[in-house]
Homo-oligomer: A and B are copies of this chain.
């Protein structure tokens, strides 16, 4: 179907995407009257490809996106970030209802059980509006060209075939993401075993007892959700939670608050163990997981009817490695420089396809970086340091150095935290603000944790760490402020205008110390 000359509304796009998800015909939006060669063909219209295309087009270039799905935006609104956020919000609300069971206006939650299956159905019934919006915005507002619902076959570094046609470009930008990685054990193919992708697409029963394998962000987030629904959940991880190599700058006090909080919610956490085997019943449905203590070798059996694999992802680089010969690293990631250039001239790679961190900021900014360089504007991207977050039933965000890291590098590290060191959590309902007020007045120990790490000599803030609600958005700007060449001093912080009650109390706590030439802990 060629929609180039049609003004398709968001509502129409919802139906169109649904219709085309059941057939193989492509959706084509190409400016045939434009005789220019494409500056770049983006293979994959996920976060990286879409933002890269948007930027390249805005700079005046010509681009084409080819995507196998009938929508732009990639896995985020389809299977990854968006459903996890929906489920994490459900977890937060369910958690509140459990703590407040029978109190105030809250009903008795003793037998509260939320349907996991229903939540998946809710997500699937609504994801079409996000797909529709990406298609609409990309065409009507961003003026992008694209072919959807079509696989791209790379012929050479300048030629791609899709929808039965060959397209030519000065450059190719590869951005088809990563696929969930299964552990190398038997039983992963049993009914009842899912990863984040098949969980959305294929779940067809109501889980009663869950085992999550893998202590990744995904493992922490999904196990918190499953447990919050009322489905007894066990999380099995090789390493202590939040000490995996994928997470950097995790402060130990923050980690303790988060992991203790997960245990308080009844989640069973088994660290230092790896999966040995998943076993099924006579009908091919999972019945238990065998795990092994990595130090003693001792095995134990975890009965369950539902297994969620959160054991990472592998970039989908094979095709490009074979056809184009791009160099690929140990974990399947396409190797790129800071310009997002691969080992092959005129071939760029972006997003999850170039490896960790598989985060949105990197996907989008790597697409933009490729676009700029293609359009002749020298541009580098460094994603080795970045603000990070995850969800348990809380929002957890951090940026900069942890206390431990700071103390390795600086002699005079000042810690400003709430509750203060040595004061019992239950004695102080702070930080309290949007999202923690009810906790603050009934269960102060559940109201969160925050820490700022400061270099007492230069007075510069080195890191911020927060557990609670409502502060994540702020960490985007705190990251920017810390990252400036001049950094961010406690004095500048103290001079800002807080919107009180603010979820994190960094500004006002900094102000309480900023008057002193010799900084001290708070």
Contacts and interface: CB of A to CB of B under 8 A. Distances in A.
A429 interface: yes
A423 interface: yes
A384 to B, nearest CB: 12
Interface stretch (A117-125, A191-199, A405-413): A117-125
A58 B514 contact: yes
A129 B429 CA distance: 7
Interface in A450-506: 469-481, 492, 494-504
Interface stretch (A20-28, A324-332, A357-365): A357-365
A434 interface: yes
A498 B125 contact: no
Contacts of A93: 93, 96, 438
A512 B388 CA distance: 22
A81 interface: yes
A130 B429 contact: yes
A415 to B, nearest CB: 12
Contacts of A371: 515
A63 to B, nearest CB: 11
Nearest to A438: B89
A262 B160 CA distance: 53
A10 B428 contact: yes
Contact of A58 (B55, B480, B516): B516
Mostly helix, strand, loop or mixed at chain A's interface? helix
A444 interface: yes
A481 B359 CA distance: 25
B474 A473 contact: yes
Contacts of A9: 427
A432 B129 CA distance: 12
A129 B502 contact: no
Nearest to A82: B501
Nearest to A475: B499
Contacts of A435: 89, 435, 469-470
Given A51-B511, A85-B433, A395-B470, 12 more contacts: A55-B511, A58-B512, A82-B501, A89-B434, A122-B442, A129-B427, A137-B420, A387-B499, A397-B499, A473-B473, A476-B499, A480-B492
28 contacts: A10-B423, A11-B427, A54-B511, A54-B515, A55-B512, A57-B515, A85-B433, A88-B434, A92-B434, A93-B96, A97-B105, A105-B115, A105-B229, A107-B107, A125-B441, A129-B429, A360-B498, A361-B498, A368-B494, A368-B511, A435-B435, A435-B470, A473-B473, A473-B503, A473-B504, A476-B496, A479-B497, A480-B481
